[in-house]
Structure 1
């Protein structure tokens, strides 16, 4: 955990509000495998990481609530009696949304102040949004003694995103950020919300994220478009979700939908199988097999679900050529963000240098690279 970040947030809160706050840390997450399966009631395999958001929160005597983002150098004043989303695509809607959903759940809160900052690169696909939602949800729960379970809190976070941000996200990001465990990934069934904590023994390897620093404008619309394709398939088949659709069922839709839409449905079914295979490979301590599955997943994301982009495909192709990398794929909603790579520790610096140089040469701009460790979930730190 970033001690400097904790101090910065703590001091800023005390300077502005002259009281001692409660401090929360909420991590970002990676997803080993299982992309776009969550809103289809499928399987995902996320893990919380050692980068996240630190929030200081305390009760306020003022007749308004104030939230301060140190990273954006912005604040928002909120009236608890009139919680309306702001038209712009802004972090403020996450704060407004979580606050509104807590009140909608019939819980009583009064005005509060909060200050937050993070070390998750925004737009990297590491779920800075879920970290922000969860930090505020847990903060309010603890501050006002709401008695909500962590399970209830993640649904408040998810509803905030649906109703105030306008993204039809599944529950994976909020779940992983809230329930993460050090050196483990969470095999999560998005239909039942049952999860199994699986040890991730990396041995001589480490997880390296390469951020393309690309955030295409179509990310949110592309996400919602694919959600609509999946909804259309289940409507045609009269099924509750793609989780209940077999490969045979899907073939029935072939004449009724475009080839591209059929491939998107097929990708979801295959990706669910890959998540299960990945879990079994980790249980068997077979990291090479995990790596192969990651490469297969990227191929499906790029060619079938069409959520990759030139930069992400390039990064995965370069990783594939490198003998020190046993697996790589794009990670997150798509159209930009990060690749996740399993890299031999002894060759890690060499890999980082090589991929940075080749990316700069190809696209005439820099990628960002960071190693991450698997960490515990959202918690009070003071």
Structure 2
């Protein structure tokens, strides 16, 4: 669904349900060019907002409860504004409750509101629909109730909602990219200081193409937290606040003292941080061949050291290596399914789509999904 259709759908549903026109906010999903699993280690990342996201309509309510409708889930929630207790299981409602609860913890009162939202971010693709949802609601409540929160405070609210209500110890990258994205640019982000640099992406003859494996293996969320814990174990041994303060020499010195699986996780993070810095330099020098090499190197580390890839993602990256019109490819996101990100020569995009769809279907007897993305503006009011 195009963004224009998405927005109209949400507007019309809000008018139908509440007989008024709501404040409209759009919050994008994100891709990450390089720098995977470095964000929760205070490292460097290179994300960008994309032209797919969540449209949300909101307005104040005279009722005692907030009423929130998820058009994608065909579900709704009545929320007691004095009780944000978790339900029995995680769902989209956990993200909503988490954002409102974290705002109230800061001393703000949030009266009841009505809300409708819908997204066009492919589910399970690793494009951070959760961050888009969190940001859209936090941003909308800030506008609606004049809370005077800045964007950095809003992304911290979104992150804490993820930690405290969803149980995922995520870094700040997803929320930051969704909130601060700029059209035709990526963000070189230091996750320790939140200093960022808007970097133009000079892909004149190339497109960013995502291949969604449509696979999500069961251990995805638990494995994410396991890897977070591995990195923490190394930091404890090193006496460091995070892996950002560690060097390869430091890591080698404690190698006999830590489990091998923890050691290789730390090794990957330190190497990936270096790749992000090299990626930035390659872009600044318009060295697209080096850009592609770094993407392949990143995937190699994600697969063999951090062990968050899977057979389907490795197959897609190996296939990309065989195609001279693909500059570079790697898995993107938390892992164990989701997407690969590919930089593909524009003139060969149709051939890419045909070849990859056919090969994946032949190998796994199911379809992958393929779509181009453009780099977009961040969270914003649209009407």
Q: Does 1:143 align with 2:144?
A: yes
In the alignment, is residue 310 of structure 1 matched against residue 292 of structure 2? no
Residue of structure 2 equivalent to 1:115: 116
Q: CA deviation at 1:258?
A: 2.3
Equivalent residue number for residue 337 of structure 1 = 338
CA root-mean-square deviation:
0.7
Q: TM-score, normalised by structure 1?
A: 0.99
2:197 matched to 1:191? no
Match of 1:235 in 2: 236
Matched with 1:18 is: 19
Q: State the alpha-carbon separation in 2 of the partners of residues 27 and 288 from structure 1.
A: 29
CA distance in 2, matches of 1:90, 1:108: 24
CA drift of 1:254 comes to: 1.0
Partner of 1:290: 291
CA contact (8 A) 2:95 2:130 kept: yes
- Contact 2:233/2:262 (CA < 8 Å) preserved in 1? no
Q: Distance in 1 between matches of 2:234 and 2:14?
A: 49
Q: Return the offset for 1:286.
A: 1.4
Aligned equivalent of 2:63 = 62
Q: CA deviation at 1:210?
A: 0.2
SS of the aligned residue for 2:312 comes to: helix
Shift of 1:337: 0.4
2:215 aligned counterpart, secondary structure: strand
8 Å CA contact retained: 1:108, 1:146: no
Counterpart Cα distance in 1 of 2:291 and 2:90? 37
| Structure 1 residues not aligned, in runs of 5+ | none
**Per the alignment, in what secondary structure is the counterpart of residue 13 of structure 1?**
helix
C-alpha separation in 2, matches of 1:269 and 1:171: 18
Residue 167 (structure 1) aligns with? 168
User: What is the DSSP-based 3-state SS (H/G/I as helix, E as strand, rest coil) of the residue aligned with 1:232?
Assistant: helix
8 Å contact kept, 2:67–2:76:
yes
Q: Shift in Å at residue 354 of structure 1?
A: 0.3
2:18, 2:112 → 1: CA distance?
13
SS at match of 2:73: coil
Work out the CA distance in 2 between the residues paired with 1:315 and 1:229: 28
CA distance in 2, matches of 1:332, 1:170: 12
- Structure 1, 40-49 or 281-290: larger mean CA deviation: 281-290
1:124 aligns with 2:95: no
Structure 1 window deviating more from structure 2 (259-268 vs 205-214): it is 259-268
1:347-380, Cα deviation, whole Å (9 max, x unpaired): 0011011000000110110000100000000000
Q: Distance in 2 between matches of 1:186 and 1:84?
A: 35
Determine the C-alpha separation between the residues in 2 that align with 1:37 and 1:180. Answer: 19
Structure 1 match to 2:255: 254
Q: Which residue of 2 aligns with 1:350?
A: 351
Deviation at 1:288, TM superposition (A): 1.5
TM-score (norm 2): 0.99
**How many residues are matched?**
382
C-alpha separation in 1, matches of 2:260 and 2:214: 31
Query: Is residue 46–residue 186 contact of structure 2 (8 Å, CA) maintained in 1?
Result: yes
Confirm whether residue 100 of structure 1 aligns to residue 98 of structure 2.
no
Aligned 8 A contact 2:32 2:46 in 1 = yes
Q: Are 2:47 and 2:186, in contact at CA under 8 Å, matched by a contact in 1? A: yes
Cα separation, 1, equivalents of 2:373 and 2:158: 24
